[in-house]
């Protein structure tokens, strides 16, 4: 009996290595068809529509206002100053005049029109930047701690990050023919994908390198998290974690967030071969019938780690050693001033929810651009949607501070702790998967929470809050101390009990809570924390120690869960 495969698998297999009929549809007006919509993801493009006007346009009998999101793949989040200035300048004429930092250290343009796609991608290519593989069923943007330390160990990790990005980028020439060279009718006969094959992977695949002791990239949430071991300045081994991932679907318990498991520790010379064997294991065994069950985390969960490891070993033709112990005991936000180690400094800029924009007196986009131009700085994007200005001369520090202040950019030290530690996904009005608001809602929720914390005498609470507009988990809410996950319209699930280093999942405390009731639901927990916390005990650790079931029983918030279940 033939294996059942999803419609997307057929689209990929029939696409002539990601070409489909994209070229023909680029020459026409109107939106891309469904099949090409699926293929565009591999090119870093999501076709969307402006959901703020969807209902009104439907009332007028008009089609949706079709737009695109374009995501630039930036390994390790590292840009030269010249590259950043081009990325910034393109936002003047393409999209909505903003840039959006992603939680994988890339950057997105929103509200891009169909006719702007080819000029945008070609201009990025001229700066050695690409959107290829930023989305789609391939190994996506490779992450790395962004701190620009003049340290041989850090430089070595950045070299490995760039090498992984090169090694796992698709080989098809479709991207360059469609967007760069303009040879849109070129045959696919010469194409081959020795690793991916004609149907690529069952779903997206994510990898990232942590720095020693620093889990700022959330290694446990990756399909493969890579932890280095150094002897002096030389990396001598990599420990590989497998099977992490954040996404789930509401009311489908067979879908769930999962933290990765330590698989093995390998020598640097073995790393690429072992990574390819892991990817190939997922390629050949991941679920191609049900895309909600297609991530590698489900394969690892369903098989169990021993069977998964045995399959990887069979592909390698040798046994893999057990993983060696390692320590990830911090997750630095890299904000504020830090020495680079070469006499220069870097400065981490807090960017609210990753949106680089000029809004009123707070002109973050203009301020960053001016700093890069005036002082010749580089730029790096962080996994928390912030950015780092690099290579600041000691004599220029005061000048950078003054220039940013002139543009209304708030220094990290002036951010309320709970706001400094927060971030969100994009959600409405552009994301087609969003059930409710996230980026536009979180600031107001945090204002209410901040006022409540001040009333309770907890204004110094530095709990990590993450919000998403749906359960797919793009802002990694399931490891946060407070995770707010959209359910629909204005309602959210409240998750409690994660921690800042990213080594523990949280648990649902209250379901289907209206946005204007979120702080009311959190208030009794915060009071309980104030009265019963241990010395120096974090909010997430407190919730985990007591347990969500105990908190519900003690504080009466089972009411929200009964109400949510009755409404289903």
CA distance 269 to 185: 41
Length in residues, the chain: 568
- Which residue has 């929200």 as its token pair? 560
From the candidates 350, 431, 504, 515, give the one annotated as an active-site residue: 431
CA distance 506 to 353: 21
Query: Quick one: tokens of 362?
Result: 């707070």
Query: Quick one: tokens of 318?
Result: 């040798």
Q: Is 240 left (phi over 0), alpha (psi -120 to 50) or beta?
A: beta
SS3 labels along 251-270? CCCCCCCECCEEEEEECHHH
CA distance 212 to 154: 9
The bridge status of strand 465-468 relative to strand 482-488 is: parallel
Query: Quick one: tokens of 319?
Result: 């046994």
**Residues whose CB is less than 8 angstroms from the CB of residue 148 and which lie 6 or more positions away in sequence, other chains included:** 78, 154, 340, 346, 378, 380, 388, 390, 391
CA distance 297 to 303: 10
From the candidates 41, 154, 206, 538, give the one annotated as an active-site residue: 206
Tell me the CB-side half-sphere exposure of residue 475, using CA atoms within 13 A. Answer: 32
CB 137 within 8 A of CB 202: yes
Residue 431 annotated as catalytic: yes
CA distance 532 to 339: 39
Residue 206 annotated as catalytic: yes
**Residue 250 DSSP class:** T
From the candidates 470, 515, 538, 552, give the one annotated as an active-site residue: 470
**Residues whose CB is less than 8 angstroms from the CB of residue 90 and which lie 6 or more positions away in sequence, other chains included:** 109, 120, 123, 124
CA 466 → CA 77, 134, 336, 445, 485, distances in Å? 21, 23, 21, 11, 8
From the candidates 288, 474, 515, 538, give the one annotated as an active-site residue: 474
CA distance 165 to 139: 8
From the candidates 145, 216, 425, 543, give the one annotated as an active-site residue: 425
From the candidates 114, 204, 355, 552, give the one annotated as an active-site residue: 204
Residue 204 annotated as catalytic: yes
CB 444 within 8 A of CB 374: no
SS3 labels along 178-230? HHHCCCCCCCCCCCCCCCCCCCCCCCCECEEECECEECCCCHHHCCEEEEEEE
Residue 55 annotated as catalytic: no
From the candidates 12, 19, 41, 71, give the one annotated as an active-site residue: 71
- Is 492 strand, coil or helix? strand
From the candidates 19, 41, 140, 420, give the one annotated as an active-site residue: 140
Residue 474 annotated as catalytic: yes
CA geometry: angle 387, 133, 283, nearest 5 deg: 125
**Residue 28 DSSP class:** S
The bridge status of strand 107-112 relative to strand 423-424 is: unpaired
Q: Which residues are catalytic?
A: 71, 140, 204, 206, 425, 431, 470, 474
């Amino acid at each position: 009996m033939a294996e059942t495969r999803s419609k997307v698998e057929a689209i990929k297999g029939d696409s002539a290595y990601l070409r489909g009929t994209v070229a023909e549809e680029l020459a026409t007006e109107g939106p891309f068809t469904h099949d090409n919509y699926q293929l565009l993801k591999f090119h870093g493009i999501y076709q969307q529509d402006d959901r703020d006007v969807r209902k009104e346009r439907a009332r007028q009998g008009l089609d949706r206002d079709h737009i695109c999101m374009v995501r630039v793949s930036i390994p390790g989040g590292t840009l030269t100053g010249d590259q950043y200035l081009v990325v910034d300048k393109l936002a003047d004429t393409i999209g909505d005049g903003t840039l959006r930092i992603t939680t994988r250290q890339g950057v997105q343009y929103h509200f891009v029109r169909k006719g702007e796609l080819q000029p945008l991608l070609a201009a990025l290519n001229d700066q050695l930047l690409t959107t290829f593989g930023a989305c789609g069923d391939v190994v996506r943007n490779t992450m790395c701690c962004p701190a620009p330390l003049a340290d041989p160990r850090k430089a070595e990790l950045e070299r490995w990050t760039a090498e992984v990005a090169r090694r796992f980028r698709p080989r098809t020439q479709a991207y360059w023919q469609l967007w760069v060279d303009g040879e849109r009718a070129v045959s696919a006969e010469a194409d081959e994908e020795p690793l991916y094959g004609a149907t690529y992977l069952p779903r997206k695949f994510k990898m990232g390198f942590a720095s020693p002791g620093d889990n700022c990239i959330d290694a446990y949430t990756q399909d493969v998290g890579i932890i280095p071991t150094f002897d002096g300045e030389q990396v001598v081994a990599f420990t590989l974690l497998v099977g992490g991932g954040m996404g789930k679907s509401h009311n489908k318990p067979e879908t769930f967030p999962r933290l990765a498991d330590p698989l093995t520790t390998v020598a640097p010379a073995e790393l690429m071969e072992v990574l390819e064997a892991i990817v190939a294991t997922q390629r050949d065994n991941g679920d191609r019938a049900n895309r909600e069950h297609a991530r590698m985390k489900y394969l690892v969960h369903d098989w169990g780690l021993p069977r998964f490891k045995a399959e990887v070993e069979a592909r390698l033709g040798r046994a893999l050693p057990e993983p060696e112990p390692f320590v990830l005991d911090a997750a630095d936000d890299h904000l504020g001033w830090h020495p680079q180690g070469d006499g220069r400094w870097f400065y981490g800029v807090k960017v609210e929810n990753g949106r680089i924009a000029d809004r009123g007196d707070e002109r973050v986009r203009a301020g960053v651009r001016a700093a890069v131009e005036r002082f010749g700085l580089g730029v790096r994007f962080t996994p928390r949607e912030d950015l780092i200005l690099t290579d600041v001369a000691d004599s220029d520090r005061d000048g950078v501070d003054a220039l940013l202040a002139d543009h209304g950019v708030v220094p990290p030290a002036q951010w309320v702790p709970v706001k400094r530690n927060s971030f969100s996904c994009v959600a409405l009005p552009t994301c087609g998967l969003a059930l409710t608001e996230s980026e536009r809602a979180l600031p107001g929720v945090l204002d209410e929470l901040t006022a409540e914390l001040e009333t309770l005498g907890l204004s110094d609470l530095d709990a990590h809050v993450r919000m998403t507009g749906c359960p797919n988990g793009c802002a990694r809410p399931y490891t946060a101390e407070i995770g707010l996950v959209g359910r629909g319209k204005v309602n959210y699930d409240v998750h409690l009990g994660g921690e800042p280093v990213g080594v523990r999942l949280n648990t649902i405390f209250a379901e289907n809570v209206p946005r204007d009731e979120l702080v009311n639901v959190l208030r009794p927990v915060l009071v309980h924390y104030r009265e019963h916390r241990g010395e120096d005990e974090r909010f997430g650790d407190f919730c985990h120690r007591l347990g969500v079931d105990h908190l519900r029983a003690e504080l009466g918030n089972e009411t929200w869960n009964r109400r949510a279940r009755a409404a289903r």
